[in-house]
Amino acid sequence: MAIQKRIDIRAGLTVDIVLKQDQRSGKLTRGIVKDILTSSPTHPHGIKVRLQDGQVGRVKAIVAYTGEL
C-alpha cells in the first residue's frame, strides 16, 4: 500500500520505496528519506522521495523513524 499523503513523510524516516525501473516487478528498496520530491499534498501512486544514497522512488511503506522530532 503506497503512502499517499505528503504530511506522513519527513526527512529521517526509514522507508521502503519502489524505484522507477522496479515498478513492473514491485521490488522494494529500503533507505532513509533525505528529500520529499512530491510537491502536492497527496499522490495516488505514493509520495516521491530521494533517499540519503541518492535513489529516487515512491514510498510504499514507512519502516521506522530515525531522526529528531
The residue ranges of every structural domain in the chain are: 6-65
DSSP assignment, residue 52?
Answer: T
Average pLDDT over residues 7-15: 95
- Given a cut of 70, whether residue 52 has pLDDT beyond it is yes
In this prediction, residue 3 carries a pLDDT of: 84
pLDDT tens digits for range 12-51: 999 999 999 999 999 999 999 999 999 999 999 999 999 9
Task: Answer yes or no: are the C-beta atoms of 56 and 42 closer than 8 Å.
Answer: no
CATH 2.30.30 is the classification of domain 6-65: yes
> What is the model's pTM?
0.88
In this prediction, residue 64 carries a pLDDT of: 78
In this prediction, residue 2 carries a pLDDT of: 81
DSSP assignment, residue 42?
Answer: B
